[in-house]
């Protein structure tokens, strides 16, 4: 089972625990509201069930997949992110996740071209930026100093970006900065 599959399984179990309702019953509730737009369903789940955005979004995805007769994603979401000319960057992803997974519990939410890592707030995002450049985005308001880390303009999705071309560039200082972001997102 991949890290994402384990994280999804944990996230779904946590949603059931938070709501006190089985996933099947939650799915029926989400689909029974008559909403047709994904965002409407997410808003309903957040307001009615008291879920955070990441949990509500995941619940709606699962409910819609079940409604379409597909109880599970067809493939590993990382297979879609790391395809073609970007496939060679997957070891960078694996190396970072091996380090970050040791921090503790967090949500892994696959997006179209990257993976979002969240606690109460997103603390990092990672994925291929171009065919030659992997990008690690970090949400941390503190000042940081690392030779590969560049500050971003205010108002963006993250405060710092690290361009990585090889897993060998991941060092203890970089991982420590991601850990600070993880701690700050609690």
Tens digit of each residue's pLDDT (9 = 90 or more) over 144-159: 999 999 999 888 889 9
Given this model, what pLDDT does residue 71 score?
46
Using alpha carbons only, give the angle 34, 40, 43 rounded to the nearest 5 degrees: 120
For residue range 60-118, list pLDDT tens digits in order: 989 888 888 754 444 577 888 998 899 999 999 999 999 999 999 999 888 888 999 99
How far is Cα of residue 14 from the mean position of the Cα atoms in its chain? 16
The pTM (predicted TM-score) of the whole model is 0.61
Domain spans in the chain, listed from the N-terminal domain onward: 3-67, 77-184
Highest mean pLDDT out of 55-59, 110-114, 134-138 = 134-138
């Amino acid at each position: 089972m991949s890290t994402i599959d384990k994280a999804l399984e944990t996230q779904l179990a946590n949603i059931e625990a938070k709501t006190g309702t089985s996933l099947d019953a939650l799915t029926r509730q989400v689909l029974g509201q008559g909403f047709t737009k994904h965002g409407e369903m997410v808003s309903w789940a957040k307001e009615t069930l008291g879920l955070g955005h990441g949990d509500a979004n995941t619940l709606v995805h699962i409910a819609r997949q079940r409604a379409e007769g597909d109880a599970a994603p067809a493939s590993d979401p990382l297979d879609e992110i790391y395809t073609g000319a970007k496939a060679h960057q997957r070891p960078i992803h694996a190396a970072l996740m091996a380090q970050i997974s040791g921090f503790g519990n967090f949500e892994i939410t696959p997006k179209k071209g990257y993976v979002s890592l969240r606690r109460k707030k997103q603390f990092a995002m990672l994925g291929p930026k171009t065919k030659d450049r992997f990008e690690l985005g970090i949400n941390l308001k503190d000042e940081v100093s690392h030779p590969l880390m560049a500050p971003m303009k205010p108002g963006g999705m993250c405060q710092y970006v690290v361009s990585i071309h090889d897993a060998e560039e991941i060092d203890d200082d970089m991982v420590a900065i991601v850990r600070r972001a993880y701690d700050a997102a609690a």
